[in-house]
Structure 1
Amino acid sequence: MRRASTKSRLWSNLMLGAGTAALVAGAAQAAPLVKECGKTGEFVIGFSQANNAEPYRQHVNDQLTAAAKKVPQFKLQIADGAGNVNTQTSQMDNFITQKVDLILISPFEAAPLTPVVARAMKAGIPVIELDRKTVGEPGKDYTAFIGGDNFKIAEEAGKYVADKLLPQGGEVAVLQGLPSSTPAVERLNGFKSGVKDNPKVQVVAEQAADWLPDKAQTAFAAMLQAHPNIKAVYASNDMMAAGARLAAKGAGKLDQVKILGTDGLPGPAGGIRAVAEGEWAATFTYPTGGPEAIEMAKSILLDCAEKVPTVVTVPTTAITPDNAKQLMQN
């Protein structure tokens, strides 16, 4: 059984998988992360996905699957939490019972899934959290967190509104995701922080739409009735941005309202196309963390790492009319 020799080797492995990802260092406790490991072994990785129905979640699944296929020793099992904390808890418990070698999880909600993550850690199974966090401290209550910085991504969106879209000021609205999820809270606060760069920009309405386009359409239609002079809306994901556009169209305000999304998904229904074709003003990519998660799993399971970076932060890309068409071709 071979142990990872140095911290620098682990960082090298992660950098190869993460490309330009920013790695925020911190080490898990200096003890073996798994009892069984080695390059000649075969390992099962369980992934508890929050909800396969969301396009972003499917994008995560696709990138994880593609990365795992490049590692012959890995078998990836994806479980659909279906947007239900009880379902996701049961699936996590099943992974623990099966004694999988490592667990990945994107928790649908933070607090309700914290206990089952603790059970996995107590059973000696490393847990890497993707995109969303449970309650606790990475490196202690779970092995590591990999994802974008939701606050900074939304803050960049806010600054784009304040500096580029509405330099003369104006009323703006925010469509928040599921309030009990960490990204929803961080994106709301980040956007509000970003628009503060311009005191003439006022956030006059904010409402949760739970990441769903139909709820976003209903919510933004009501916002436009209450605040007919809204000039921009920031949606915390691309699906809600699509719903907001339908509401603006229904109100006859497509020319008045600038729409911004978050996710920057590829494909015909994604945010990149919407910006490229002039439907939205911008969207901001939220990286899946899939390739980085598989690189970390390789360090733990194949290289027998005794410690890993407890936070891996993957940067965003602003998708605007300046680069959207080029990105569609990539």
Structure 2
Amino acid sequence: MKRLFGCLCALLLSTAAHAELRIGVSVGQFDNYVSYLVQAMQDRAKASPDGVKLQVEDSASDVVRQLNQVESFISQKVDAIIVNPADTAATRKISEKASAAGIPLVYMNSRPEVDTFPPGVVFVGTDERAIGQMQMEYLAEKMGGKGNLAIILGRLAHSDTGKRTSGVKDVLAKYPDIKVVEEQSGDWQREKGMDLMNDWLTKGKTINAVASNNDEMGIGAAMALRQTGHQEILVGGIDGTPDGLQALKKGQLAVSVFRDPVAIGAGSVDAALMLIKHAALQGDIWVPTQLVTPDNYQQFLRK
């Protein structure tokens, strides 16, 4: 009887060991914001009663590498795949291969440029055009509806860059006295935001406000302005990262838009688990956003 009990225990332990769910994750580029998404995913996976193991890979903005990573996940027979696209215009093969293998697929943070998703494929993220509108409405009001605006774009191949900038220009259409005097890419990076602003100041550009496609580039621009004594120029960011919130506290940023990385990252893991369990999920799962100003930034600070 003891031997039988021992065999049953061994069998149960063996089954439990193989019951762990495996989710393959490929991110477009492991930058500042994506690092918060990955941390949120890892925290949710650890807390899940299902027993979840994440395998996180960085495609370094390489479309071919990302597709190879997805193909590797499929060959490993993972239970689900989460993809933060390296290029939102190049996701068709990823969707096709995951669907053909019958593996649930969650796109995270940056929405692929498709009208609809096939069954078993969803997107978790935010409405980027609306975010650009929120940012610019605040800046336009603070500018008194007139003046010169510089726009610091994200990575040009990234759809969020186009959507956020389109949102900014939606608002500008209502303010003919606000002129766009500069519009260049800072590639999502703080250093490049600083370099752009230093270049514009060196050329003697008159700028009253800056609409940056993310906090990092906005912080870089604000640092250049502070170093040259131009602190009267308004700088708006997007993401509401911890660094962005500190920049608001210091008066470097005038505004940001909070894109909750915990809601997006953890929500992507939740969506993957639901798809694994054959829940009827499809389409877009939108995460709410909020305007962050010097008056309310405290409520977004992480404890």
TM-score range, shorter chain: 0.7 to 0.9
Within 2, Cα distance between the matches of 1:223 and 1:199? 22
Letter in 2 for 1:316: T
**CA spacing shift, 1:329–1:62, aligned 2, 3 Å:** closer
CA distance 1:157–1:227, change in 2 (3 Å): farther
The answer to whether the 8 A contact 1:44-1:77 is kept is yes
Query: Match of 2:14?
Result: none
Match of 1:239 among 193, 216, 227: 216
Which residue is equivalent to 1:107? 85
* AA partner of residue 72 (structure 1): P
Structure-2 separation of matches of 1:131 and 1:292: 10
- Larger relative contact order (CA 8 Å, sep ≥ 6): 1
SS at 1:253 equivalent: coil
Distance 2:120 2:206 in 1: 46
CA RMSD of aligned residues (A): 2.1
Q: Does 1:315 align with 2:291?
A: no
Cα 1:206–1:68 shift into 2, 3 Å: same
Candidates 276, 280, 299, aligned match of 2:274: 299
Instruction: Give the structure-2-normalised TM-score.
Output: 0.86
CA contact (8 A) 1:117 1:142 kept: no
1:262 to 222, 238, 242: 238
Distance in 2 (CA, whole Å) between partners of 1:250 and 1:223 is 14
Cα distance in 1, alignment partners of residues 94 and 181 from structure 2: 39
Once structures 1 and 2 are overlaid, which stretch shifts more, 169-178 or 107-116?
107-116
CA contact (8 A) 1:148 1:316 kept: yes
Q: Please say if 1:170 is aligned against 2:170.
A: no
User: What runs of 5+ residues in structure 1 fail to find an aligned partner?
Assistant: 1-39
Pairwise CA distance, 1:197: 3.3
Shift of 1:329: 6.1
**Offset from partner CA, 1:175-229 (integer Å, 9 cap, x none):** 1111111111101111111233333222221111111122222222233345632
C-alpha contact 2:129 2:167 (8 A) present in aligned 1: yes
Kept in 2, the 8 Å contact 1:172–1:203? The answer is yes
2:124 partner SS:
strand
Q: What are the within-5 Å matches in structure 2 for residues 1-330 of structure 1?
A: 41-52=19-30, 54-73=31-50, 74-140=52-118, 143-163=121-141, 165-226=142-203, 228-254=205-231, 256-266=232-242, 270-288=243-261, 289-302=264-277, 304-305=278-279, 307-328=280-301, 330=303
The answer to whether the 8 Å contact 1:148/1:287 transfers is no
Query: Taking structure 1 as reference, are residues 117 and 314 closer, same or farther at Cα in structure 2, changes over 3 Å only?
Result: same
Using the TM superposition, give the Cα deviation of residue 244 of structure 1 relative to its aligned residue in structure 2, in angstroms: 0.8
Q: Structure 1 stretch 66-75 or stretch 165-174: which is displaced more?
A: 66-75
Larger Rg: 2
CA distance in 2, matches of 1:290, 1:71: 14
In the alignment, the residues of structure 2 paired with residue 66 and residue 149 of structure 1 have an alpha-carbon distance, to the nearest angstrom, of 24
Asked if the contact 1:159/1:197 (under 8 Å) is kept, the reply is no
Counterparts in 2 of 1:329 and 1:314: CA distance versus 1, 3 Å: closer
Secondary structure (helix, strand or coil) at the match of 1:57 reads helix
Q: Distance between the aligned counterparts of 1:319 and 1:202, measured in 2?
A: 24
CA contact (8 A) 2:120 2:275 kept: no
Which has a greater percent of helix? 2
SS at match of 2:301: helix
Give, in whole Å, the separation in 2 of the partners of 1:140 and 1:168: 44
- The Cα shift of 1:142 comes to 6.9
What is the aligned-residue identity percentage?
28
Partner residue of 1:33? none
**Paired residues, what number?**
283
Contact map agreement 1:138 1:145 (CA 8 A) in 2: no
When residues 153 and 142 of structure 1 are mapped into structure 2, their CA distance, relative to the original with a 3 A threshold, is farther
Distance 1:250 1:301 in 2: 52
Letter in 2 for 1:263: D
Letter in 2 for 1:153: I
In structure 2, C-alpha distance between the alignment counterparts of 1:225 and 1:169, rounded to whole Å: 23
1:84–1:108 contact (8 Å) kept in structure 2: yes
Counterpart AA for 2:250:
E
d(CA) in 2 for partners of 1:141 and 1:174? 38
Equivalent residues of 2:124, 2:284 under 8 A apart: yes
Contact 2:237 2:256 in 1 (8 A): yes
Q: Which amino acid aligns with 1:150?
A: E
Contact 2:119 2:282 in 1 (8 A): no
Specify the SS of the correspondent of 1:109: coil
